[in-house]
């Protein structure tokens, strides 16, 4: 028997046991003026036996409702089947009362079976349909819960599929730009190009390791970002200067993979690489209560603000929307002293595996 079936049996048994206890109390408190006063044992026997006789009938009705639920398209068949079941219960209850009366004492003087049957109709017909109503409520409630779970699972699968599609879109774009950087160095400095290829290999390996994960620890994301910056550092040399402002306590914070790389790439390609003089790339990681703050800024002339709808930034916004809904912000602002700052705010979540 399944766990759900055992739960139904337990619920029905508990319900009718409580009903029997209530009936026992009524029998004890509503016998003033009677010639025969019931003892607790007699009242319990009558009340509990009357209630417990309903347990198999209720379970039978639950089983029948599973197969003949009253729904559009099967109304006539279901109502007929359930009506036959209720009438059968009425007759069976009458038979039980009639033949168990000498032991349980429902009647002081046993009337003809016809009278017992008529009494059973009044006592049990409506009660049978009430059982059917409860069984339908249980059935439809369970179906609604299943549909909700299926909808949640479908939504999760759709979100996962969308994230995979966005990752597939981002990785070729990232690889194309990295290869372009290496191609610029092949004829000018073969050794530097070789170092860039090694760095690209490390970067791709890290990227593939995180491909099946929607969130990764911040320290892993920063390690991947450093691989990318090393590639650009070989290409730009002293023209690319770095400043890291990292809160080490946030190393286990969870972020989407390849979140910072497109922001750094945007700053390097559209601000620092366009300058003749050295340029600064600043990476800052901090927190503000329940929020994780990530900043990537440059000291260029503001040109890195231009590609607001480029592949990298659009991809970041789409992935953040999939993961956090509206519970995030991504701002690209000009700095008063010159340059651009990309500022991300996402919910601060910790990596439980690192705890």
Query: Domain range holding 14?
Result: 3-150
pLDDT of 105-147, one tens digit each? 778 788 899 999 999 999 899 999 999 999 999 999 988 888 8
Same domain, 26 and 103: yes
Instruction: Identify whether residues 46 and 95 lie together within a single domain.
Output: yes
CA distance 118 to 293: 77
pTM: 0.51
d(CA 302, CA 335): 8
Q: Which pair of tokens denotes residue 63?
A: 């089983």
- Six-digit token pair at 88? 């059968």
Domain boundary among 150, 165, 200: 150
Q: Which residue(s) pair with 294 in the sheet? A: 285, 344
264 within some domain: yes
180 within domain boundaries: no
State whether 124 and 228 are in the same domain: no
pLDDT tens-digit map of 293-344: 999 999 876 555 554 455 667 778 888 887 888 899 999 888 888 888 999 9
Whether 250 has a pLDDT exceeding 90, the answer reads yes
What is the count of structural domains for the chain? 2
Q: How many residues comprise the chain? A: 355
Contact indicator for 56, 73 with CB cutoff of 8 Å? no
CA nearest neighbour of 67 among 56, 78, 58: 78
Q: Contact 343/184 with Cβ under 8 angstroms?
A: no
**Quick one: 192 and 341 in the same domain?**
yes
Is 274 a member of any domain?
yes
Residue 278 is predicted with a pLDDT of: 87
Give the domain-ending residue among 121, 150, 179: 150
Same domain flag for 128 and 194: no
Is 134 part of any domain?
yes
Between 342 and 171, the higher pLDDT residue: 342
Cα 284 from chain centre? 32
For the chain, give the percent of residues with pLDDT over 70.
84
Domain-embedded: residue 164: no
Of 150, 177, 200, the one marking the end of a domain is 150
Cα 163 to the center of its chain, rounded Å: 16
What crossing angle do the helices spanning 260-267 and 311-324 adopt, rounded to 10°?
Answer: 150
- The answer to whether residue 277 scores a pLDDT higher than 70 is yes
3-state secondary structure of 344: strand
Contact (CB, 8 A) for 252 and 217: yes
């Amino acid at each position: 028997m399944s766990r759900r079936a055992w739960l139904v049996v337990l619920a029905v048994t508990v319900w009718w046991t409580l009903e029997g206890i209530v009936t026992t109390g009524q029998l004890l408190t509503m016998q003033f003026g009677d010639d025969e006063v019931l003892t607790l044992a007699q009242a319990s026997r009558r009340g509990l036996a009357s209630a417990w006789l309903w347990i198999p009938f209720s379970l039978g009705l639950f089983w029948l409702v599973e197969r003949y639920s009253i729904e559009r398209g099967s109304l006539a068949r279901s109502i007929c089947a359930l009506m036959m079941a209720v009438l059968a219960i009425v007759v069976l209850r009458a038979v039980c009362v009639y033949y168990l009366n000498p032991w349980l004492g429902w009647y002081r003087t046993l009337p003809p079976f016809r009278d017992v049957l008529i009494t059973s109709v009044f006592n049990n017909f409506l009660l049978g349909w009430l059982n059917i109503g409860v069984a339908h409520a249980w059935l439809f409630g369970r179906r609604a819960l299943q549909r909700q779970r299926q909808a949640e699972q479908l939504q999760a699968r759709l979100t996962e599929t969308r994230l995979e599609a966005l990752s597939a879109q981002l990785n070729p774009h990232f690889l194309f730009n990295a290869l372009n950087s290496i191609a610029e160095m092949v004829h000018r400095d073969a050794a530097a190009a070789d170092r860039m290829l090694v760095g690209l290999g490390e970067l791709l390996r890290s990227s593939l390791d995180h491909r099946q994960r929607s969130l990764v620890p911040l320290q892993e994301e920063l390690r991947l970002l450093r691989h990318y910056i090393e590639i650009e550092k070989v290409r730009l040399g002293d023209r690319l200067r770095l400043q890291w402002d990292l809160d080490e306590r946030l190393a286990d914070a969870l972020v989407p993979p390849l979140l910072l790389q497109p922001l750094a790439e945007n700053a390097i390609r559209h601000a620092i690489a366009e300058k003749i003089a050295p340029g600064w790339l600043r990476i800052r990681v901090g927190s503000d209560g329940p929020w994780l703050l990530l900043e990537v800024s440059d000291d260029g002339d503001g040109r890195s603000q231009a590609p607001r709808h480029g592949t990298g930034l659009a991809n970041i916004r789409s992935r953040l929307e999939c993961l956090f809904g509206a519970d995030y912000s991504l701002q690209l602002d000009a700095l008063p002293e010159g340059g651009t700052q990309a500022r991300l705010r996402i919910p601060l979540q910790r990596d439980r595996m690192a705890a």
